[in-house]
Structure 1
Amino acid sequence: MKALRFHGAKDLRIEDVDKPASPGPGQVLVRNTHCGICGSDLHEYSYGPIFIPQEPHVFTGAKLPQIMGHEFGGVVEAIGPGVGHVAVGDRVSCQPIVTPRAGEYHADRGLFQLSDRIAIVGLSHDWGGMAEYALLDDYNVAKVPDELADEAVALIEPTAVGVYACDRGEVTAGSSVLVTGAGPIGVVTLMAARAAGATRLFLSDPNDTRLELAKSVLPEVVTINPTRESVADAVHAATEASVGCDTAIECVGNEHALKDCLSAVRKQGIIVQCGLHPGEGALDWFQVTFKDVQIRGSWTYGTHFWPRVAKLISTGMIPDEKLVTRRIALEDAVRDGFDALLDPAGDQLKIIIEI
């Protein structure tokens, strides 16, 4: 079968690899149909390996070269003994977190995403979504509603990130929310905030093209280019009594963006760090104390989120199909996908690979 495999930074190759074996107990063979390109995929391509292991992974044993892709889904091709929640022919989406299911502190509490031995399909696993097939554990496969569009099987995973970030930020009816970073995760986080009842939305990004794309999807959002205006001033000016926003969610992994969140959030507000920072950064801790704010991390999502998020998408509450700006074939994924998304002057937001 055809697969896009990571060998090193700037070294992605379309290769012929063996199709997975027939599924064993508790396993599901999926014929992949759609896969998204995530920001973490771009980081691996640009300067990895980061999450992709060079030595066998402590839990899965996977190592380079790695089939890419963790935002994906398809159709069940075969099931192994003991699998009862999906059947051959079902459309499914992949929940890509792979961990021990018991016998660990976090696993025993259902917090699988916090396992110290976490692996991710498409990053530290034998299989990935940028291939014709993937062999998955049964808990990694969720049947999707009939009304969900086919390509949306690849949108559930990034949408779950945004929904969880809003949960962490306690976004609720009437909230005012700032998101820094107008990439797919930033925009879908704003969509999730609106679905949760937020009534005032702000988005900061230095890329005017992306701000315009976001505005076309969310006409009510107040867009701010931090290279031309103060994010804090813009947010304070548009919130009740100029106090600032209730929640600020950092979705890009940028020190300056995090500082903008601290400046823009109201006293006793909540800052959520969703983007992955490449290193340590300075923050004005006097202001953290003086403003009595909370700072919370937001790591992936609960592995039980798939039915909830699928319903949010299929009912139109989160219309994240509007994020998709290009659909490409697997053989064109490097040039028309990865390279296009990394182009500083590019006009792409979310690219879906049609397997």
Structure 2
Amino acid sequence: MRAAVFHDKHDIRVEDVPEPAGVGAREVRVRPALCGICGTDLHEYAAGPIVIPTSPHPLSRASAPQVLGHEFSGQVLEIGADVTGVRVGDRVAVMPLIYCGHCYYCRRGLNHLCPEMACTGLSWHGGGISEQVVVPDYQIAVLPESVTDVQGALVEPAAVAAYGVDRTGFRPGDTILVTGAGPIGGLAALYAHAAGAAQVIVSEPNPRRRALLDAFGIATVLDPLAEDVPAVVRALTGGVGADVAAECSGSEAGLAAALGGLRSHGTATQVGLHVRPATIDPMALSQRDLSLVGTWCYPVYDFPRIISLIGTGRFPVERVLTEVIDVADVVPRGFDRLLDPDGDAQKLLVKVG
């Protein structure tokens, strides 16, 4: 079968690989329909291997070369003998996190913090940019007719964005500042709007991404290269500042703008991944009684809630999609394009079949 396979930095190949072996009692075979390229995938391509193991992973025993793809929808081809709740032919989204189930964190429902966590498409025997993949049954979330395959492939990044907003303590009626308008920032803005934000403010230096966010019609979109973001946010909020902020750029400038744009006793979440240390002013946290909270992935049980919200039409995740590309073009029209700082793409999905 065809798959996009990570071998090393700047070495992703579309090649034939063996189909996965038979399913275990609690496993499900899926034919991926569409799969997103994630920021984590981009980090691996540009500077990896980082997350992808080069020796057998302690939980999954997988190692590079790695079939990529952890944001995908698909159709169930086969189920194991003990699988319930899903049938052959069901359309599904796949929650890609794989956990041990018995450590301190797993026993407390914090499975996304499992020290041995693996991930389909990064540290598992298969991924979503392929023609077939076998996954544990607890990863499967059935899609209703009201949710398309495109939307299903965006459930995973939507869950990341939603968790980033939820961890701020966001409440309906709040003003939220989002720094960074990549796919996670765009989804965070859409989620906050769906959840009842009084005002959504987005900061993004890339003019093409600003235009995409502005076209959503749900946010005030700022250019941090031309405007003092904290000052504009205060002006838009009667001199007070945003109630909460979601930092989705993974940049020091974005973090500074998020903290600077908060009102006193506000909360910012760090959603975007930093590839190098960033400097903050701890005195500002103290003097203004601010909270800075990290986020990692999402609760593993959150996919059904996200899917239900998408199904209502109030969370139109498909609006972040730039294009669906063929797997043959995954490097030049996918990875290389998304890594271009002046590029025109916000979110790309890959079609294999």
TM-score w.r.t. the length of structure 1 is 0.97
Match of 1:288 in 2: 285
Match of 2:214 in 1: 215
Give the Cα separation in 2 of the matches to 1:46 and 1:72.
22
- Could you list the per-position Cα deviations for residues 108-134 of structure 1 after superposition, in whole angstroms to 9, with x for gaps in the alignment? 111110100011111111110000001
Q: CA deviation at 1:314?
A: 1.6
Match of 2:309 in 1: 312
Match of 1:187 in 2: 186
- Preserved CA contact (<8 Å) 1:171 1:197: no
Match of 2:29 in 1: 29
- Could you list the per-position Cα deviations for residues 123-160 of structure 1 after superposition, in whole angstroms to 9, with x for gaps in the alignment? 11111000000100001111111211122221100000
Q: CA deviation at 1:345?
A: 2.3
Match of 1:14 in 2: 14
Give the Cα separation in 2 of the matches to 1:49 and 1:236.
42
Q: CA deviation at 1:279?
A: 2.5
Residue 219 of structure 2 corresponds to residue 206 of structure 1: no
Give the Cα separation in 2 of the matches to 1:9 and 1:32.
25
Residue 309 of structure 2 corresponds to residue 278 of structure 1: no
- Preserved CA contact (<8 Å) 2:250 2:273: yes
Q: CA deviation at 1:344?
A: 2.3
Give the Cα separation in 2 of the matches to 1:280 and 1:342.
20
Match of 1:156 in 2: 155
- Could you list the per-position Cα deviations for residues 43-91 of structure 1 after superposition, in whole angstroms to 9, with x for gaps in the alignment? 1111111111111111111111111110002000001110011110000
- Could you list the per-position Cα deviations for residues 146-205 of structure 1 after superposition, in whole angstroms to 9, with x for gaps in the alignment? 211122221100000111111101111111001111100000001111111111111111
Q: Which runs of 5+ in 1 are unaligned?
A: none
Q: CA deviation at 1:251?
A: 0.6
Q: What are the equivalent positions in structure 2 for 1:93-112 lying under 5 Å apart?
A: 93-101=93-101, 103-112=102-111
Match of 1:228 in 2: 226
Q: CA deviation at 1:227?
A: 1.1
- The amino acid across from 2:100 in the alignment is P
Give the Cα separation in 1 of the matches to 2:339 and 2:278.
24
- The amino acid across from 2:131 in the alignment is E
Structure 1, 75-84 or 333-342: larger mean CA deviation: 333-342
- Preserved CA contact (<8 Å) 1:248 1:271: yes
Give the Cα separation in 1 of the matches to 2:342 and 2:202.
19
Q: What are the equivalent positions in structure 2 for 1:104-143 lying under 5 Å apart?
A: 104-143=103-142
The runs of 4+ residues in structure 1 deviating greater than 2 Å are: none
- The amino acid across from 1:233 in the alignment is A
- Preserved CA contact (<8 Å) 1:179 1:250: yes
Structure 1, 72-81 or 337-346: larger mean CA deviation: 337-346
Q: Which runs of 5+ in 2 are unaligned?
A: none
- Preserved CA contact (<8 Å) 2:193 2:218: no
Q: CA deviation at 1:312?
A: 1.2
TM-score w.r.t. the length of structure 2 is 0.98
- Preserved CA contact (<8 Å) 2:36 2:153: yes
